[in-house]
Amino acid sequence: MWLVNCSKKDIECLCFNKIVYDAPDKIQAQQYQKMANLCFEKDINSGRYWQTKFRDTELGEFLKKEKRNERFRKIAERAAAVGRRKPTDQTPIEKEEKKIPRWDIK
């Protein structure tokens, strides 16, 4: 049984009404009861967004990536506005041609 979509009342019910189990199912039942207790302690349920340090870190990394992508988009837009050539364009650039030693130019 999963605790993913349990409401607050369901979690309270699972916490206060302990599980009755057979001997072969003891380990699984105890693990399930521990999870129900943890969900009750930390107020984790389907109606609440659970905040953790991991989620804060994950959100921070996502925002950094979005800012980086936005910065690259702006740079590309500015380059297009200035009229720079695309990297696939094979026309020679005068400044770059002057850097090549004369004996290498064919």
Kindly indicate the confidence band of residue 11, based on its pLDDT and cuts at 50, 70 and 90: confident
For residues 62 and 34, state if they share a domain.
Answer: no
List for the chain the helix, strand, coil content (%; round to 5): 65, 0, 35
Whether the CB-CB separation of 54 and 21 falls below 8 Å is answered with no
Count of domains observed in the chain: 2
Give the domain extent around 71: 51-86
Is 73 a member of any domain?
A: yes
59 and 79 co-located in one domain? yes
Q: Are the C-beta atoms of residues 48 and 11 closer than 8 Å to each other?
A: no
Work out the mean pLDDT of the chain and round it to a whole number: 78
Does residue 39 sit within a domain?
Answer: yes
Tell me, yes or no, whether 4 and 31 share the same domain: yes
pTM above 0.75, yes or no: no
What pLDDT shows up at residue 27? 92
| 35 and 21 belong to one structural domain | yes
Residues 36, 24 share a domain:
yes
The tens digit of pLDDT for each residue in 44-56 reads 877 776 655 666 7
Q: What is the pLDDT of residues 14-34, one digit of tens each?
A: 889 988 899 999 999 999 899
